Structure 1
Amino acid sequence: MRQGFDNDKYIELQAEHIRERIAQFGGKLYLEFGGKLFDDYHASRVLPGFEPDSKFRMLKSLADDVEVIIAINANHIEKNKARGDLGITYDEDVLRLVDLFRGQGFAVAAVVLTQYANQPAANVFRARLESLGIACKLHYPIEGYPHDVDLIVSERGYGRNEFVETTRPLVVVTAPGPGSGKLATCLSQIYHEHEHGVEAGYAKFETFPVWNLPLTHPVNIAYEAATADLDDANIIDPFHLDAYGKTTVNYNRDVEAFPVVRALMERILGESPYQSPTDMGVNMVGFAITDDEACRDASRMEIVRRYFQAAVGVKRTGMGAEQVDRLELIMKKAGIDKNYSPARSAALTKEQVTGSPVGAMVMPDGSVVTGKTSTRLGAASSLLMNALKVVSGVDIELEVISNSAIEPISYLKTHFLGSSNPRLHTDETLMALSITSATDEVAARVLDGLGQLRGCDAFFSVIISATDEQVLRRLGINVCCEPKYERTGIYHR
């Protein structure tokens, strides 16, 4: 696939810049870590060459100097808030994060329960953490937050919060998702540090928007598409423009919050080290782009994916029409429409000819391969097999999977598992292919082609099953579906 980002350069630049920021504050920095740390697939899609775990690998290069605090909003625990991408609740994700950090040699200082007001579910989670030997600290709601600076920066404000003792120069404050209280945790810790006579500062690490790319750059527009459900927007940072005469891009919420953050830092530190929200950031991702046009193309495609994802969501749930409307405006801003991917026209055209659901995929060389529903395979399975044949140099008409591998699976589905559909889903197809590969060299070659499909874009003329979508995504294939079902009806599994 065409690359547009130098991952190694990024890791080196980013680590060095964070070291410089630590030194700026006398050797102690609380770093608010926004976005996904281990699995930033959005960044890897819009910046081809960016590895999903790049930020984590960057931290790994600083591991000896790092301690981690994980913040979680007690109200989110009470409401059972979940991560849509992982399908787990925020409190379960906290445990996942602890395991991931510890498994890679990082010290986890504590979990902080923010907005704690004796919520029953939060108390259960707190007891669970303590039984697991994980330190848990409580941060309380502050009346008048965030505008009553005198109260916030006092013994009755941040002073009531439990302090997390840390010993290393860089304290990374992360969370399962937005609204968890990362900023408040950082500022509360800095307040306590200064009460103890320790110099400490604050900085923010957020990959998007990219501050040194234009406001209308597709990479930044793609971030607006990714956050369309939040109704937020990228804007020019007016504080940076006023202070330095330079145009930079920031998030509207950060710009709106900056006067309060600056006032809090002035009260805690004596003076604010920052003149703008852009100043607070340490993001160096814009300096590692090596092929701007490749990143523009990838970002435009991501915007379209977000549109279809939202449109399918409306079809499935009946909710979110306003998000679709916003994404249509975002596509116009980027100068594209829903036909941007050649896979869509290929899938819809072939569906008209065959009368059956069709999938199409853009191959690494730019060609488009299709696959339609057959008696043995569903559209997703058929497309996957045809794409594997193409990247493996196998004749697309050749039957690679033996009937002896397919028939027992179909029989099991229809006779014992209650399915009326004998056709194989993608996971079942891969199992049949694996079985065949044990005795067939061609099948083995086709199976080995899976890695070459990572990053390819697939489009389906109907909404495919959740199983097929999950398998394709786990293979690194980007999936879009026309927002319609294969059959009429009101109940779809």
Structure 2
Amino acid sequence: MSVNYNRDVEVFPVVKRILGKITGGDSFYQSPTDMGVNRAGFSIVDDGVTREASKQEILRRYFRYRCEYAMGFADRETVQRVELFMKDFVIRPEDRAVVKPAWEAARQGQALDKGNEGIFCGAAIELKDGTIITGNNSALMHASSSLVLHAIKHLADIPAKIKLLPDTITNSVRNLKTDILNERTVSLDLEETLIALSISATTNPAAQLAIEKLTELRNCEVHMTHIPTPGDEAGLRRLGVNLTSEPHFSTKNLFMP
């Protein structure tokens, strides 16, 4: 919401008189700007924290505009402007704590040939205690699905060897997607994974324990090496994480029916 500055100038003498009557003396403000923007600096009590928050906001916008440009929602000029901000303030993409771990997860997945259809996605999340958890995509699930499962297993202290999704459930979903819905891939996005996890929780206490930890992901920082699919983005948004991603598509099939 924006306010016409001329209106501020017109009403300011009235506001100034009201403040004078309240305080019993002269008003401390000499203009609308003095009353508004000039006061903002006095609310900063920790300059270092404020600078870091500003830096992280520039980084989030940098990744966001690059993705929007790749999808045709923003123009090149918008991307160039935020890139100039990055140069002016000497900010690098990897200054966002979850970026390098996500890159490493993608490279590790490629080294182990764990991707899906020739695409290797990595994802990383920074938990509230500063722990970094990673995940990558596979023929079974998307990188965001792997990431969330790894994160809640860590939070619930569930050993890595314990399966949260039994083969009976994953096979059932696989049959539904390929045999009935005629989809080309069986890899589960985050929304599908969360539904499968809730089904597993009816008979698997470990899955129930893991589900209870999902709320602890809210406001955590997440980065992905590829643009999330609609199912991944919706799931991450509902979990309340702060997501950024690289401007690479996670599928070779860009047709939108």
Indicate the TM-score class for this superposition, using the shorter chain for normalisation: 0.7 to 0.9
1:265 pairs with 2:16: no
| 1:339 counterpart SS class | helix
Q: Which has the larger radius of gyration?
A: 1
Matched AA of 1:313 = E
Report the alpha carbon displacement of residue 434 of structure 1 after superposing the two structures with TM.
Answer: 1.0
Q: 3-state DSSP class of the match of 1:359?
A: strand
Cα deviation, 1:130-153, whole Å, max 9, x if unaligned, reads xxxxxxxxxxxxxxxxxxxxxxxx
Q: Residue 380 of structure 1 corresponds to which residue in structure 2?
A: 144
- Alignment-derived partner of residue 301 in structure 1: 56
Cα distance, 1:280 vs. partner? 4.6
SS where residue 415 of structure 1 aligns?
A: helix
SS at match of 2:247: coil
With normalisation by structure 2, the TM-score equals: 0.79
Relative to structure 1, is the Cα distance of residues 419 and 350 closer, same or farther in structure 2, using a 3 angstrom cutoff?
A: same
Secondary structure of the equivalent of 1:319?
A: coil
Say if 2:75 is the partner of 1:329: no
Is residue 399 from structure 1 mapped to residue 154 from structure 2 by the alignment?
no
Alignment match of 2:206 (pick from 442, 460, 484): 442
Q: 1:308 to 1:330 in 2, by over 3 A?
A: same
Query: Within 2, Cα distance between the matches of 1:291 and 1:387?
Result: 31
- Matches of 1:266 and 1:286 in 2, distance apart? 21
2:220 maps to 456
Deviations 1:256-286 (A, max 9, x none): x64x23553379x598876323445499987
In structure 2, what residue type is equivalent to 1:353? Answer: Q
Kindly tell me: are residues 370 and 270 of structure 1, through their superposed partners in 2, closer, same or farther at Cα, counting changes over 3 Å?
A: closer
Distance of 2:45 and 2:16 partners within structure 1: 38
1:277 aligns with 2:23: no
Q: Which amino acid in 2 is paired with 1:326?
A: R
TM-score (norm 1): 0.43
Is 1:320 the equivalent of 2:84? no
In structure 1, the gaps of 5 or more residues are 1-177, 184-256
Distance across 1 between alignment mates of 2:37 and 2:69? 37
CA contact (8 A) 2:99 2:124 kept: yes
| Separation (CA, whole Å) in 2 of partners of 1:315 and 1:489 | 15
1:3-152 mapped onto 2 (5 Å cutoff): none
Distance in 2 between residues matched to 1:473 and 1:331, nearest whole Å: 26
Runs of 4+ residues deviating >6 angstroms: 270-273, 282-290
For residue 311 of structure 1, what is the aligned residue in structure 2? 66
Q: Which residue does the alignment assign to 1:340?
A: 95
CA contact (8 A) 2:12 2:32 kept: no
> What does residue 173 of structure 2 align with?
409
Alpha carbon RMSD of aligned pairs, Å?
3.1
Letter of the structure 2 residue corresponding to residue 324 of structure 1: V
**1:462-481 correspondence runs (5 A):** 462-481=226-245
The verdict on how the C-alpha distance between 1:282 and 1:351 changes in structure 2, with shifts beyond 3 A counting, is closer
Percent pairwise identity: 31
**Is it true that 1:486 corresponds to 2:241 in the alignment?**
no
- 8 A contact 2:63–2:245 mirrored in 1: yes
Query: Does 2:127 align with 1:363?
Result: yes
Query: Counterpart amino acid of 1:377?
Result: M
Aligned residues: 238
AA at the equivalent of 1:387:
A
Q: Which has the higher relative contact order, 1 or 2, with Cα contacts under 8 A spaced 6 or more apart?
A: 2
1:349 aligns with 2:95: no
